[in-house]
Amino acid sequence: MSKLSTDRLCAIALLILSLVGLQGCGTLYATAKNPRGDDVMLLGYDPVAYFTLGRPVRGSNTITAALPGRTYYFATAQHKQLFDANPAKYEPQYGGFCSDGAAFGIKMSTDPAEFEIVDGRLFIFGDILGHEMWRLDPQWNIAHADRLWPEAKDVGNRWQSLKRYVSKVPHYLTGRELMAEWKRRNPDRELTYYPGGMLTNLFLKQSGWRAAEGFGQPTVGYPD
């Protein structure tokens, strides 16, 4: 490796370490703060509604359930009762982070409007782009994400994502490679979406900001 390349890598590493030091390692779950400071999952959407109604439904901040590091909102008391009886059945996989990124050990993004239920498990995606890439091979993505989740689950999203951006998993696929395959399978469709950049997603905004603020997609809003 040339001296220039080594110096550049060192500079990038120092920048990453500085950002991590200033901002912390991130959150274990894909949460967003409400005005009271609670760490809310799914931007306040009801996790049970995906199963009972088959669609995303906004929950109420008066019907909640708190678990370590995360709080859920529910649309009805009945949904809360179902959740309280068996939280593991209704919680989203991979801490609510994008299931497409989870296949590569990355904990980034959450959009409650983009979801799938497979074999009784709730999978959430960061945006329509991640959802479409995941659909190329759901079982491949699930298998890899399940294998990598024990590594990632107890690590903050910033540190885990940076680690896996620098040290990529052997099966890593670039966005260009995934898009080429998507276009091959969907020659008559268009898919354009800008996810906002790694710096913004990891350090400048909280998880789910694109969906909450309507960045290139419908506005979901932050939890109240």
* pLDDT one-digit tens code per residue, 95-120: 999 999 999 999 999 999 999 999 99
pLDDT for 22 equals: 41
How many domains are there within the chain? Answer: 1
Asked if residue 205 belongs to a domain, the reply is: yes
Question: Is 132 within 8 Å of 178 (Cβ atoms)?
Answer: no
User: Is 90 exceeded by the pLDDT of residue 61?
Assistant: yes
Q: Which of 37, 80, 44, 43 is nearest to 59 (CA)?
A: 44
Mean per-residue pLDDT of the chain: 91
Q: Tell me the residue range of the domain where 56 lies.
A: 3-213
Question: Is 112 within 8 Å of 124 (Cβ atoms)?
Answer: yes
Asked if residue 221 belongs to a domain, the reply is: no
pLDDT for 86 equals: 98
Asked if residue 101 belongs to a domain, the reply is: yes
117 SS3 class: strand
Structure tokens at 78: 């009945």
Asked if residue 196 belongs to a domain, the reply is: yes
Asked if residue 111 belongs to a domain, the reply is: yes
pLDDT for 7 equals: 56
Question: How many C-beta neighbours within 10 Å does residue 6 have?
Answer: 10
CA distance 128 to 131: 5
pLDDT for 23 equals: 47
Model pLDDT for residues 138-187, shown as the tens digit of each residue? 999 999 999 999 999 999 999 999 999 999 999 999 999 999 999 999 99
Model pLDDT for residues 74-95, shown as the tens digit of each residue? 999 999 999 999 999 999 999 9
Asked if residue 167 belongs to a domain, the reply is: yes
DSSP notation for 5-32 = HHHHHHHHHHHHHHHHHHH-S--SS-EE
Model pLDDT for residues 6-60, shown as the tens digit of each residue? 555 545 554 555 554 444 689 999 999 999 999 999 999 999 999 999 999 999 9
Model pLDDT for residues 185-206, shown as the tens digit of each residue? 999 999 989 999 888 888 889 9
Asked if residue 223 belongs to a domain, the reply is: no
In sequence order, the β-bridge partners of residue 65 are: 72
